[in-house]
A = this chain, B = another copy of it.
Amino acid sequence: MREDTRTRIQEIALRLFTEQGYEATSLREIAEELGVTKAALYYHFRTKDDIIASLVEMRMTELEELLTWFRSRPNTLQTRRELLERYAETLKRSRYLDVAKFLERNQTAMRDHPQLTRMRETMMTLTREMSDPGATPTERISRSMALFALHAGKWLTLETELSDEEIDKATMEVAMRLLEP
């Protein structure tokens, strides 16, 4: 059974946007790969922006759910460790990893997008609340970086000697260490 056009547009667009850049990818390219004219895209999406807006929305909703879950639990080392595990899980689902990659690589292109502002705030809140009130600056920064470390691990896939699984496992160990005092 054939996917619907709308979903195919999103898939092609996300791939091209991530590979070539959001602004460097024209609607004509997307339309050609789909086998239609670019005007046809405007039947399915109001603007170029709308093509990825729903995908970004998915990723953001997930982050907000993660924050809600975190706040519902006692702020212990155990909870923080579980937060890292859950965050890493979201990055394993290819759809979210693709969106995360897109967002990393197209920061300025999405600059004044309201969704991006919300997401930045969610990430900020998450990292901030991981710290105890009386923590030292080093402890605060260290814990904040634990989440970033999970992303950084995905950039290091060029370390040819290591397999993806080894990198994922080692990245998690490094991130966990950043939670320790």
Contacts and interface: CB of A to CB of B under 8 A. Distances in A.
Interface of A: 17-24, 104-109, 111, 124, 127-128, 136-138, 140-142, 144-145, 148-149, 152-153, 155-156, 158-159, 162, 166-167, 169-171, 173-174, 177-178
Given A17-B108, A21-B108, A106-B107, 4 more contacts: A21-B23, A105-B108, A145-B174, A152-B152
A111 B23 CA distance: 12
A107 to B, nearest CB: 4
For the complex formed by this chain, how many copies does it contain in all?
2
Given A20-B111, A24-B111, A109-B23, A141 B167 contact: yes
Contacts of A138: 169-170, 173-174
Which one of A17, A109, A171 has the greatest number of beta carbons of chain B within 10 Å? A109
Which one of A20, A128, A144, A162 has the greatest number of beta carbons of chain B within 10 Å? A144
12 contacts: A18-B108, A20-B108, A24-B111, A106-B108, A124-B158, A136-B170, A138-B170, A138-B173, A138-B174, A141-B159, A144-B156, A145-B174
A48 to B, nearest CB: 12
Contacts of A124: 158
A130 to B, nearest CB: 12
Nearest to A153: B141
Nearest to A152: B148
A142 B174 contact: yes
A119 to B, nearest CB: 13
A177 to B, nearest CB: 7
A22 B171 contact: no
A129 to B, nearest CB: 12
